[in-house]
Structure 1
Amino acid sequence: MIFLIIGCFSVILFIILLWYSPGKIEPYLNENNKPILGSVSEKTFVKIGGVTQGMFIKSKNSNNPVLLYVHGGPGFPNYFLVDKYKPNLEDYFTVCYWEQRGGGLSYSSEVTLESINFNQLSSDAIEVANYLRKRFSKEKIYIMAHSGGTPIALLAVLMQPELFQAYIGMAQISNQSESEKMAYKYILNKYEKDRNQKRIRKLKKYPVLQSDANILSFYKSKIRDQYMHELGIGTMHKMKSVFLGVFIPVWTCKAYTISEKINIWKSKFSFLPKTNLINEMLKTDFTTKVPKLDIPVYFFSGKYDLTVNINLSKAYLKKLDAPLKGFYTFNNSAHSPLFEEPELVRKIFENDILKNNNSLADKTLKK
């Protein structure tokens, strides 16, 4: 009897999963329920850096400026959050949500572990930018990156600034090793204040302040994400559960097929951890590697973001030499203002970034 119940439950679960996994994105429709002329809504695959890479391209008007979105992780795409929270940047841009080699749509046997490094990923970003420039007949495009994607986009702009109109860094990484130390201290202090001995014991298995190896171990541990979300300093300030906030939305995002969803998790748990990318990120001080950019620079940070420390991002922008810059603090956000305060993000794009301005930026960090 128990096997029959398990079998029935499995069949029902599979049917539900099939329903949520057509692997297609909906077109933009007019009042007559027909696709809007000039709109784009597609999932496509392009040879980038010698390997097939996937991307979603969406626009209500393909004549609009082009925005390349570089997700974080590193290597873990978050289009499922775009799909869930609908920040609607497509009102202003033709947006390309590129999924980096080795992750999401771009996970395949073509990709080697050795090719997952910032130089190659930045080269890929430049190639994607050129693909978009050619396809949509644009001299320059905008580039926006999130968290672990910010080093990739930053280096791409450094290498070929002439391709880009402006750079937007959300949860901008500067010195992530220092950020991890600050987050660890904060978490430990909170649990010590609450006298949560169980959490304290687990944290002390990773003496982060003693060696770089411990920082890497802590970064890769399950408790890092779990505790950050419990304390409101993770993906979103109000997202307390990785399971409900991340795991379930991946499986319910209709833009992916079942096999593509499986690949997202295969990449995250069995492929990307074997690469040197996280270690490379932790060992690099981007404030010294990229001290100057030749295009306008905008940083978005959530007030509660300790996943990528907001104060370190602020200090980096203050130090960074750029022709125009603006820092924007999101008072109700942690790590993902695009999904936590999308209306404010849209306002900043409309009033500042698209007008080459910084009128809405924090007053102390304008240029």
Structure 2
Amino acid sequence: MILVLFALVAGSVLLLFLLLLLYSPGKPAPLKDKNGNPLAGSIFEKVFIEIGGVKQGMFIRGKSLSNPVLLYLHGGMPDYFLTPRYPMVLEEYFTVVWWEQRWAGLSYHPGTRPETITPEQLISDTEELTNYLRGRFGQEKIYLLGRSGGSFFGIQAAARFPELYHAYIGIGQMSDQLHSEWLAYQYMLDSYRLAGDSGMVRRLEACPVTDHIPAAYLRVRDQAMHRIGVGTTRAMRSVVSGMFIPSLTFKEYTLKEKFNLWRGKAAAGVHPLWETILSTDLSRQVNRAEIPVYFLHGRYDYTVSYTLTKHYFEVFQAPEKAFFTFEHSAHSPHFEEPERVREVLELILKGRETY
């Protein structure tokens, strides 16, 4: 009986491994026309270059090489693998560079020293990659988009190197993240008390957010946010079904790259970047840029506080700025409300002639 069970388990593991290999060719998917053929004049590449002395990877996609370049800075983990699940409009307007930063996704290397993952290094990497893209695509300036954690160093790069960018776009723009975590904690605790979920209330009460973030809170945070629709998206109720499974079935990663995607996510708490983010209030330290600045934020976003980002926008000084509220989104309006994003991008690009 034991041998039979062992054979069944071994067979299941082998089958799962073979299925993962089948879903892991690691080739970039082409953009297609209405007949299902690769779209003429489009770009779909998986590129590795050395940035800051480290081999780093990115996906580059766009419908036309005549479009401006947009460099996308992801948050806590790369999210390009979610694009097959959500209709995207960025590639209609830009040549989008989905860069996976050092120690994340395509750029994960276990030998990288944790102390090198700092805002200054990421800002330097952003500048270096920007200059590579300017040269490769023959564009004097590009657009910079920072999403969530990427917005923390993205807006600093935009403020420091305005000569490199047409404009800066922040999605889920960070400002005072320690205060944001406190607001999220209070909101979740109140919501679960109101819902009568005593189990989640006990878990949250056991790890209160005060002037620091307990490790136990970080372990329950994502689950608590997603269950009430204030996490990655309004509809995503589980990281497993909403992110882990889509990452396994994403064909543009190899099996090793999928493994490294989650190794990088698990290791994110080891490097000092998170503590630096928590100890920094951008509304006091980085509140001016010499280029247009646009914030796109979901009304139900508690991963990064909507209220605090609105305050940050009010004190931020820029030659042109605009704040766009997404009434039906949480932390990912570019995934949740693509048609509204289309409207916003058209407004942003119309202003391009003036700067």
Normalization by structure 1: what TM-score? Answer: 0.92
Aligned residue among 39, 43, 57 for 1:40 = 43
Q: Is 1:251 aligned to 2:254, yes or no?
A: no
Offset from partner CA, 1:251-302 (integer Å, 9 cap, x none)? 1111100000000111111x32211111110110001111101111111111
Q: Is 1:225 aligned to 2:222, yes or no?
A: yes
- Cα separation, 2, equivalents of 1:97 and 1:190: 35
- Cα separation, 2, equivalents of 1:83 and 1:133: 28
Q: Which amino acid in structure 2 is aligned with residue 44 of structure 1?
A: V
Contact 1:216–1:279, Cα closer than 8 Å, also in 2: no
Gaps of 5+ in 2: none
Q: CA deviation at 1:34?
A: 5.0
Offset from partner CA, 1:70-107 (integer Å, 9 cap, x none)? 0001xx11111123213131111111000000100000
Offset from partner CA, 1:179-222 (integer Å, 9 cap, x none)? 0000100111112223322212211221212x32xx25255x22
Residue aligning to 2:64: 61
Residue aligning to 2:349: 354
SS at match of 1:143: strand
Contact 1:63–1:136, Cα closer than 8 Å, also in 2: no
After TM superposition, the structure 1 = structure 2 runs for residues 85-100 of structure 1, keeping only pairs within 5 Å, are 85-100=86-101
- Cα separation, 2, equivalents of 1:167 and 1:300: 11
Contact 1:179–1:309, Cα closer than 8 Å, also in 2: yes
Instruction: Sort the Cα spacing of 1:160 and 1:23 in 2 relative to 1 into closer, same or farther, 3 A.
Output: same
Offset from partner CA, 1:116-153 (integer Å, 9 cap, x none)? 01110011011111111000000100011110110121
- Cα separation, 1, equivalents of 2:298 and 2:345: 17
Question: Which region of structure 1 is more displaced relative to structure 2, 34-43 or 323-332?
Answer: 34-43
Q: Which amino acid in structure 2 is aligned with residue 121 of structure 1?
A: L
Residue aligning to 1:165: 166
Residue aligning to 2:31: 28
Contact 1:296–1:356, Cα closer than 8 Å, also in 2: no
Q: Which amino acid in structure 2 is aligned with residue 49 of structure 1?
A: G
Residue aligning to 1:19: 22
- Cα separation, 2, equivalents of 1:86 and 1:137: 29
Q: CA deviation at 1:158?
A: 1.4
- Cα separation, 1, equivalents of 2:328 and 2:24: 32
Residue aligning to 2:8: 5
Residue aligning to 1:236: 233
Cα RMSD, aligned residues only = 1.5
Contact 1:216–1:282, Cα closer than 8 Å, also in 2: no
Aligned residue among 274, 277, 293 for 1:278 = 274
Q: Which amino acid in structure 1 is aligned with residue 301 of structure 2?
A: D
Among the aligned pairs, what percent are the same residue? Answer: 47
Q: CA deviation at 1:223?
A: 0.7
Instruction: Sort the Cα spacing of 1:31 and 1:184 in 2 relative to 1 into closer, same or farther, 3 A.
Output: closer
SS at match of 1:318: helix
Residue aligning to 1:50: 53
Q: Which amino acid in structure 2 is aligned with residue 117 of structure 1?
A: T
- Cα separation, 2, equivalents of 1:14 and 1:141: 41
Aligned residue among 317, 322, 325 for 1:326 = 322
SS at match of 1:345: helix
Offset from partner CA, 1:17-52 (integer Å, 9 cap, x none)? 112111111223446765434321010101001110
Instruction: Sort the Cα spacing of 1:194 and 1:35 in 2 relative to 1 into closer, same or farther, 3 A.
Output: closer
After TM superposition, the structure 1 = structure 2 runs for residues 326-345 of structure 1, keeping only pairs within 5 Å, are 326-345=322-341
- Cα separation, 2, equivalents of 1:336 and 1:147: 9
- Cα separation, 1, equivalents of 2:296 and 2:216: 25
Normalization by structure 2: what TM-score? Answer: 0.95
SS at match of 2:208: coil
Gaps of 5+ in 1: 358-367
SS at match of 2:269: helix
Q: Is 1:126 aligned to 2:127, yes or no?
A: yes
SS at match of 1:145: strand
Residue aligning to 2:179: 178
